Amino acid sequence: MEASIAAQRIGIVIVIPMREPSMSPTADGFVVDAEGWLPEVRQLRSPHVDARPIGTTIDLVVIHHISLPPGEFGGDSVERLFMGTLDATVHSAFEPLAGVRVSAHFLIRRDGSITQFAACGARSWHAGESRFLERDRCNDFSIGIELEGTGDIPYDADQYRALVRLIHSLERAYPLVWIAGHSDIAPGRKTDPGASFDWRRLHTDLGSGRLVRPF
């Protein structure tokens, strides 16, 4: 398995369990259906998705940040971007986004509310040109989670709680091993989730034996 080979080359020993989608709710998680939708969270089905390569193992979570306009929270501009309905003429910051086709599997707002834009079994277009360990095209094997933020403003406690609950749910459904920031897989091109994201807090809240960030 590709993840095992990459782990061996950087000196990390891992065991990748095989899991079935979680069809029952738990105290700290969401239901994940057979396609990778979470019925308990808000859903907007983005057209900016396609099929993963056949036989792909989903083993990586990628953390991003986003705000539109930059530094402004709330509103529906991020949703419109992911749905392909953003009017690039209404704000100067949107002009470079004209015709851009991007999405993520999930968006976590400042209040911890979650919107899902793509089934986890599908490939959302969140990472762009990217490389994780010795594998290119991270969209193929990752789940992308956007946090509403800027990278220099601290994230809200509700966002960390929602992120932990979401990751725990995904871990029960998929053989996840790794976690990375967008800046880890696209260094020099991306900076998110930024200096204000508390990786130590996330790993503590996730609990021991959880996902590895090999950076």
Catalytic sites, residue numbers: 146
| Measured distance between the N- and C-terminal CA atoms of the chain, rounded to whole angstroms | 21
C-alpha torsion angle, residues 53, 54, 58, 60 (rounded to 10):
-30
Element (H, E) at 2: helix 2-9
Distance between CA 131 and CA 168 in Å, rounded?
Answer: 24
Select from 118, 95, 94, 98 the least CA-distant residue to 106: 118
| Residue 17 Cα to chain centre, angstroms | 21
6: Cβ contacts below 8 Å, ≥ 6 apart: 132, 133, 134, 135
Check whether the bond before 154 is cis (ω within 30° of 0): no
